[in-house]
Amino acid sequence: MRASLPAIGLALLTAAAGAAPLSAQTGSQCLATLNPFLSNNGGAAGGAVYFDMTVSSAIVLTDVVCNFASTSSGLPVGVDVYLTPGTSVGNEANPAAWNQIGSGSGLGAGQDQRSICTLSVPAIITPGAYGVALVAVGTSHRYTNGNGANQSYSDNFLSLQLGTATNVPFSGSPFSPRVANIELCYNPGNGLFPNFSATPTSGSSPLTVQFTDTSYTSDPGGILNWAWDFDNDGNVDSTQQNPSHTYIAGGSYTVTLLTIDAVNGARTETKNDFVVVDPITVDFTASTTLGAAPLTVQFTDTTAGNPIAWAWDFESDGIVDSTAQNPTWVYATGGTYTVTLQAANGANIASEVKADLITVVGATNNTASADVLEFQFNEPRGQTIANTASTTLAPLSSTVSVANWQGDAGRTGWQGNEPGFGALAAQPAGGVGVSTGFSPNLANVTVMWWQRMQTAPGTALAYNFGGPGAQMRCFTGGVAGTGLWYRGTAIGDIKTIGSVQGAPGVWQHVALSIDDVTGTADWYIDGVLDSSTAFTPGTHVMTNSDFTIGYHTAATSGMGLHYDVDDFRLYGNALTAGDIQLAMMQESPTFSSFGAGCAGPSGGAPSVTSSGGAPRVGNASFTLDVAGMEPGRPAVLALGGLVVAGGALPADVSFLLGTGCQIEVAQDVAGILGNGSGSASLPLGIPNNVLLAGAHLYGQVLVVGSGFSLPFAGALSPAIDINVQL
């Protein structure tokens, strides 16, 4: 039989509810490890620093001051605080040993500056010895290498012994010794601080829970009374210090503990929805998260806890789009979409929100290409190269760092995927690379390319791809030895076992496939699985402000110093071994444009697109579609096999057609287009002849102007590049 709270206890409970929060207490003090912060090293975004702490008298931790990377200046940052009994040493890779006691947030102040993170709920730490882990949120730690003399700090309450660091919290081998650049700010723990733990806090009904009092009081007489309310109904369910309770019905239960001592009176601790009986954990997967509109996505419910009802919102508009368990949805327009699933099991209701899960972009004509980036390095022109991806997620052209980037033109019989044309050539004098202008934010990803070493680099560092700053990058040489390393993300280093520094002149195909859903990262060399690395699912993000090929922060440490590169592809999903082997067999048939064209009196330059499928060998339906021509004026489509012609192209014809007009292609064949409607289609069926594989055909539309004196006020379309493949 449960008793009502005693009148005095109820009054004290009401009074305590109006007490000032712990963070409002005065007299806080801070213990700093290094002041000022002078880091000489740093970790990855989301990484952790570890140290040991001895607490001589109870404290209330209110703020943690950290040294975060310079990229965090003025942006929101945070830190999660974890403790383990005894020591952090040996527990850095043991997530089960740690208990989170608080989470702080603030604004980054920049590298070697004090970024103050205030805990959302001040944390009470009782006397004892602890290992401490501080996990960076939204940024990365800066720290100092330990030298023995800079690793011990103390005041009247705390003693700190520094420390180690890892790029992934509670995973991998720690970097040691590392001195965290931190300050711990706290108030002395004078007073009564109720708290408790329980095991288990979740399970099937009937659920028996053992509660353990962990309250602290500075009163030498200790705590005198305990009053527990296990189901938030205002009734006392137990007056024992460490009781157990059996929950019969499913649901979420709020638990309150009231404690009383002789000096401080009564204090309470309430933990909302602390015990969940018959829990439901909502989750789901999507068959694809990136593609061109219209994009069909199959959603699969993976909720644990026997759900019986579902409500899906696919477009984050607050409207229920489906109540099926595993629905399909078609995204008709481009954009980035947040998806929400709410599910119920009769006892509990829960939701899962996946922010910016689906990205829908425009489609290109290159349906067989990689969906994000594909550079085949075939264009014998200038410093601008085509991105022939199947979507418009990334810019359709990119910039090469040098004009003479193409090498090995005209090679035949190569064992790889592109007979007869060029590659991104090694430039030992200064390297070569491609700035794509694309800012990735991809969780599932595959990167692949062909490479050929020109000279034996030994252990010379060569970046294969990357971006500015400390973000994601891939490299060989240096600490990578003769293999490849992918690093700079929350999942830590992903390394090959096999060597990619074979004999000079030998082409190798390499691919990295990362599945963030399953937590698997696989390296492939020449289509064969080289190594597989497991990581925590949902923690990988490939991100930086400008994805670069062939270098990281500067071409002087780039891949182009030692290697030729060909057919570089970036996919927004994790490819299988079969997918990779198929992709490396040959390049994709593509249609791309180059040059700006020039506008005529009608106000815009003509455009040329394709239809009827990709320009494959044997595709009799391949068609060129021209639009934007000035109605009533004659137009010519010029087709040819050259865009250089000994340096004569591009040719400036401003004097003839108007300012900015350039002829980009040599005319081998010309066709007159209809001049009535301003648009036309020209069938250009491709013969079924394998010798055409690898051939390029270039084209441009010229519209004759209506003037009677020079210039004739005509117009030119951007040029087109038709890359025929099997």
Tens-digit pLDDT profile for residues 431-487: 788 999 999 989 999 999 999 888 777 778 889 999 876 678 999 988 888 899 999
Q: What three-state secondary structure class fits 368?
A: coil
Tell me what pLDDT residue 121 has: 84
Would you say residue 616 has pLDDT above 50? yes
Q: Rounded to 5 degrees, what are φ and ψ at 582?
A: -70, -40
Which of 520, 511, 463, 524 minimizes the C-alpha distance to 491? 520
**Would you place residue 627 in the very low, low, confident or very high pLDDT band (cuts 50, 70, 90)?**
confident
Provide the token pair at 56.
Answer: 């001589």
Question: What is the mean pLDDT of the segment spanning 221-249?
Answer: 97
Provide the token pair at 201.
Answer: 């806090």
- Running DSSP on this structure, what letter comes out for residue 240? S
Q: Return the percentage of the chain with pLDDT > 70, whole number.
A: 90
User: Between 416 and 315, whose confidence is greater?
Assistant: 315
Q: What three-state secondary structure class fits 343?
A: strand
Identity of residue 550: G
Torsion of CA 171, 172, 173, 178, to 10 degrees: -50
Would you say residue 2 has pLDDT above 60? no
> 638 to each of 403, 635, 660, 664, how far by Cα in Å?
26, 10, 19, 10
Residues ≥6 apart with Cβ < 8 Å to 506: 452, 453
Q: How far apart are CA 432 and CA 554, in angstroms?
A: 10
Provide the token pair at 72.
Answer: 């965090």
> 637 to each of 176, 627, 702, 716, how far by Cα in Å?
67, 12, 6, 10
CB 146 within 8 A of CB 89: no
Question: What is the mean pLDDT of the segment spanning 625-641?
Answer: 83
Which of 257, 158, 270 minimizes the C-alpha distance to 215? 257
Provide the token pair at 73.
Answer: 């200046």
Q: What three-state secondary structure class fits 338?
A: strand
Q: How far apart are CA 393 and CA 292, in angstroms?
A: 9
pLDDT digits (tens, 9 = 90+) for 263-286: 999 999 999 999 999 999 999 999
**Would you place residue 426 in the very low, low, confident or very high pLDDT band (cuts 50, 70, 90)?**
confident
The reported pTM is 0.69
Domain 198-277: CATH architecture, name and number where available: Sandwich (2.60)
- Ranges of each domain in the chain: 33-188, 198-277, 284-361, 407-583, 590-723
Strands of the sheet containing 284-286, edge to edge, are 284-286, 295-301, 328-331
Tell me what pLDDT residue 166 has: 96
Q: Greatest CA separation found in the chain? A: 107
Q: Residues 525, 526, 529, CA angle at the centre, nearest 5°?
A: 50
Tell me what pLDDT residue 71 has: 65
Tell me what pLDDT residue 72 has: 61
**Burial zone of 512 (CB within 10 Å; 0-12 exposed, 13-18 middle, 19+ buried):** buried
CB 411 within 8 A of CB 420: yes
**Would you place residue 591 in the very low, low, confident or very high pLDDT band (cuts 50, 70, 90)?**
very high
Instruction: List 474's β-bridge partners, or say none.
Output: 465, 486
User: Between 654 and 252, whose confidence is greater?
Assistant: 252
Length of the chain in terms of residues written: 726
> 641 to each of 378, 470, 696, 724, how far by Cα in Å?
13, 43, 6, 12
Superfamily (CATH H level) for 33-188: PHR domain (2.60.120.820)
> 434 to each of 49, 541, 552, 587, 606, how far by Cα in Å?
35, 22, 10, 19, 29
Tell me what pLDDT residue 631 has: 76
Relative to beta strand 384-386, strand 397-400 is antiparallel
> 485 to each of 495, 500, 525, 641, how far by Cα in Å?
5, 11, 13, 40
CB 617 within 8 A of CB 724: yes
CB 151 within 8 A of CB 177: yes
pLDDT digits (tens, 9 = 90+) for 531-584: 999 999 989 999 888 999 988 876 667 888 888 898 999 999 999 999 999 999
Same fold, 33-188 and 407-583: yes
Q: What is the CATH number of domain 284-361?
A: 2.60.40.10
Provide the token pair at 111.
Answer: 């590298």
Tell me what pLDDT residue 413 has: 37
The correct CATH number of 590-723 out of 3.40.30, 1.20.140, 2.40.128, 2.20.130 is 2.20.130
End-to-end CA distance of the chain: 82
Identity of residue 54: T
Helix, strand, coil shares of the chain, percent, nearest 5, are 5, 45, 50
Would you say residue 10 has pLDDT above 50? no
Q: What secondary structure does DSSP assign to 681-721, as a single string?
A: EEE-PPPS-GGGTT-EEEEEEEE--S-SSSS---EEPPEEE
Tell me what pLDDT residue 18 has: 30
Tell me what pLDDT residue 598 has: 87
**Average pLDDT value over all residues in the chain:** 87
Identity of residue 262: A
Tell me what pLDDT residue 417 has: 39
User: Between 32 and 75, whose confidence is greater?
Assistant: 32
Residue 603: count other Cβ atoms within 10 Å of its Cβ. 9
pLDDT digits (tens, 9 = 90+) for 482-512: 899 999 898 999 999 999 887 788 889 999 9
Which CATH class for the 407-583 domain?
mainly beta
Instruction: List 265's β-bridge partners, or say none.
Output: 261
Q: How far apart are CA 280 and CA 415, in angstroms?
A: 54
> 651 to each of 596, 620, 642, 647, how far by Cα in Å?
13, 33, 13, 9
Would you say residue 682 has pLDDT above 80? yes
Residues ≥6 apart with Cβ < 8 Å to 96: none
Would you say residue 86 has pLDDT above 90? yes
Provide the token pair at 654.
Answer: 């401003």
